[in-house]
């Protein structure tokens, strides 16, 4: 059995508590109150309830830590060195359409560096977690990125811009060469799980434009602790603030990044 630290146990307990409400609301998805945030983007009462549970539970366990929340924005803590980065419901559109593929994502920064991450899939009961320097796991099983070496053998995940968001033409320029170079692409609509699946070797790579820190913070650490690489499209390690991110195993990362970079900058 994997030896979880006190910090991971705190994050897991908060995620499990929030997940109970999400599972209950998912069973009654047609009755949820839904307000429109923007074209093609929604916030449900389930989002807000889950975020409140996560913040309350984490504040009790780690008083003084700051928060960066998808719905609630940034909240400075007395402890300026630590900040939780939270997406209470990654995959809201899937959730609201009754598709059982969504997740809770929690990451923790210390002095601006990611030190812990957790992505919980409540429906499949899979909890992906990692701590800096200690590896990545799903439930109690150690994770490693895939060992595939060639793009023609690779399965690559992506996120597709939707109505009112992103540069559709630029995205399509990157999609075409990946389709031509690989064994397939997948778009499941949950970036945190896409990155967790790269860490687990289920996907060989992933790229997406326009993501926010709460979408990817936990997933970045999962991939890196599973032996993979995540950078911006132009390279470098500051993927949390990059315009687009590319994640893959060490054999494929540079090949995929260069393919995407060349297409995006045509």
Using pLDDT thresholds of 50, 70 and 90, give the confidence band for residue 115.
Answer: very high
DSSP 8-state assignment for residue 59: H
Has residue 150 got a pLDDT over 80? yes
* 248 token code pair: 């893959």
Q: How far apart are CA 181 and CA 260, in angstroms?
A: 11
Q: How many CA atoms does the CB half-sphere of 190 hold within 13 Å?
A: 26
Q: What does the pLDDT read at residue 225?
A: 98
The string of pLDDT tens digits covering residues 14-37 is 999 999 999 999 998 878 888 877
Residue whose tokens read 């812990």: 116
Contact criterion met (CB below 8 Å) for 66 and 83: yes
Beta strands in the chain (DSSP E): 34-38, 41-44, 65-69, 73-75, 79-90, 103-110, 113-121, 126-131, 135-138, 141-142, 155-158, 184-186, 205-209, 229-232, 244-248
Q: How is the chain split into domains, by residue range? A: 6-142, 151-264
Sign of the CA dihedral running 196, 199, 201, 207: positive
pLDDT, position 165: 63
- Joined together, the tokens standing for residue 217 give 């913070």
Structure token digits, residue 263: 């297409």
For 44, 142, 159, 207, the CA distances from 150, given in Å and listed in that order, are 41, 24, 22, 17
C-alpha torsion sign, points 253, 257, 259, 260: positive
The highest-level CATH class for domain 151-264 is alpha beta
Kindly report the average pLDDT of the chain as a whole number.
92
12 compared with 171, residue with greater pLDDT: 12
pLDDT digits (tens, 9 = 90+) for 229-251: 999 998 876 788 888 999 999 99
Work out the percent of the chain whose per-residue pLDDT is above 90. 74
* Domain 6-142 homologous superfamily, CATH: Fructose-1,6-Bisphosphatase, subunit A, domain 1 (3.30.540.10)
Best CA proximity match to 241, nearest among 265, 261, 214, 203: 214
Distance of CA 162 to the CA centre of its chain: 18
Question: What is residue 39's predicted lDDT score, i.e. its pLDDT?
Answer: 60
Confidence of residue 38 (pLDDT cuts 50, 70, 90): low
């Amino acid at each position: 059995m994997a030896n979880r630290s006190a910090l991971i146990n705190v994050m897991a307990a908060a995620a499990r508590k929030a997940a109970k409400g999400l599972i209950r609301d998912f069973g009654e998805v047609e009755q949820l109150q839904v307000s429109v945030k923007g074209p093609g983007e929604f916030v449900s009462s389930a989002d807000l309830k889950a975020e409140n549970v996560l913040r309350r539970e984490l504040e009790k366990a780690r008083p003084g830590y700051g928060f960066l929340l998808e719905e609630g924005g940034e909240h400075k803590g007395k402890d300026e060195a630590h900040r939780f980065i939270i997406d209470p419901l990654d995959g809201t559109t899937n959730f609201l359409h009754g598709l059982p593929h969504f997740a809770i994502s929690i990451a923790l920064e210390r002095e601006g560096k990611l030190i812990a991450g957790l992505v919980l899939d409540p429906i499949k009961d899979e909890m992906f977690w990692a701590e800096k320097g200690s590896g990545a796991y799903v439930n109690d099983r150690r994770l490693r990125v895939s060992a595939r070496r060639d793009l023609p053998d690779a399965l690559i995940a992506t996120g597709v811009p939707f109505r009112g968001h992103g540069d559709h033409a630029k995205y399509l320029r990157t999609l075409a060469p990946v389709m031509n170079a690989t064994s397939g692409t997948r778009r499941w609509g949950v970036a945190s799980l896409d990155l967790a699946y790269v860490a687990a070797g289920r996907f060989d790579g992933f790229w997406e434009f326009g993501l926010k820190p709460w979408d990817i913070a936990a997933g970045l650490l999962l991939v890196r602790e599973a032996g993979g690489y995540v950078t911006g499209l132009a390279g470098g390690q500051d993927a949390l603030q990059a315009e687009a991110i590319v994640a893959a195993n060490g054999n494929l990362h540079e090949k995929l990044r260069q393919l995407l970079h060349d297409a995006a900058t045509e």
